[in-house]
Amino acid sequence: MAEQTDSIQRVALITGASGGIGRAIAERLSADGMAIAVHFSGNRDRAEEVVSTIAAAGGKAILVSGDVADDAAMTTAFDAVEHAFGGIDVVVHTAGQMILKPLVDFNLDVLDKMVRTNVRGTFVVDQLAARRVRDGGAIINFSSSVVKIALPNYAAYAATKGAVDAITLILAKELRGRDITVNAVAPGPTATPLFLTGKDDATIEHLGRMAPLERLGQPDDIADVVAFLAGPGRWVNGQVIYANGGVI
């Protein structure tokens, strides 16, 4: 990889970068030469580990924080990134909640909280990204393959991710003429703490065998897709990319 100077180094903000997929994306985009803003909401220690790992590998990274659904907090986060690095080229929005239960039993207060984080949070982050990302940049949201494969217990979560799909596809068209791509990545079953928590071994084995490749995805599998969209994939725009090993 050619060495980059500060004047041309691209800058990426990754929300939820203390989590499994978010961390893999932060480390991968840093390895690709970008300066990284590691966003977290609740777990500062894990986020600091990501920054330290990137720095130890010779990269540049800062911490930013805030509730993704709070426009004032996220405005402050975007301001901090621009102050530190001079601008923003890529926004990857991985932050979200996944709460599973049959629709008939789902607590509506819990539903409201998940909608706030997953739907309003995407809207807030995308609104700021659309205003701040420099021409030639990329906005990458996170959906889920469960929108398409419709597993039981996922009604509430899938509904929020269906909203993410709609926001993504429409924003791509609204940014006509800006040379900014807007896409969503929709992982399938992926071995992260968010996915594995609360599932027994038999369930995990079953979900892992859903893909023709007969394994769970790994965070690095998803980071590879994001790296393409954030870098050379300039002709992919207004798409939901199902990164799930072939699950249908």
The answer to whether the beta carbons of residues 234 and 181 sit under 8 Å apart is yes
Fill in the DSSP letter of residue 16.
T
What's 7's DSSP letter?
Answer: T
Domains of the chain (ranges; CATH) run 11-186+219-241 (3.40.50.720)
Q: How far is CA 238 from the centre of its chain?
A: 16
pTM confidence score: 0.94
Query: How far apart are the C-alpha atoms of 78 and 117, rounded to whole Å?
Result: 18
| Least-confidence region, from 40-44, 117-121, 137-141, 233-237 | 40-44
pLDDT per residue as tens digits for the range 118-137: 999 999 999 999 999 999 99
Helix (H, G, I), strand (E, B) or coil at 11: strand
| Residues shown for the chain | 248
Query: Residue 8 has what pLDDT?
Result: 80
pLDDT digits (tens, 9 = 90+) for 127-170: 999 999 999 999 999 999 999 999 999 999 999 999 999 999 99
Provide mean pLDDT across the span 56-63.
Answer: 98
Provide the annotated active-site residues.
Answer: 157
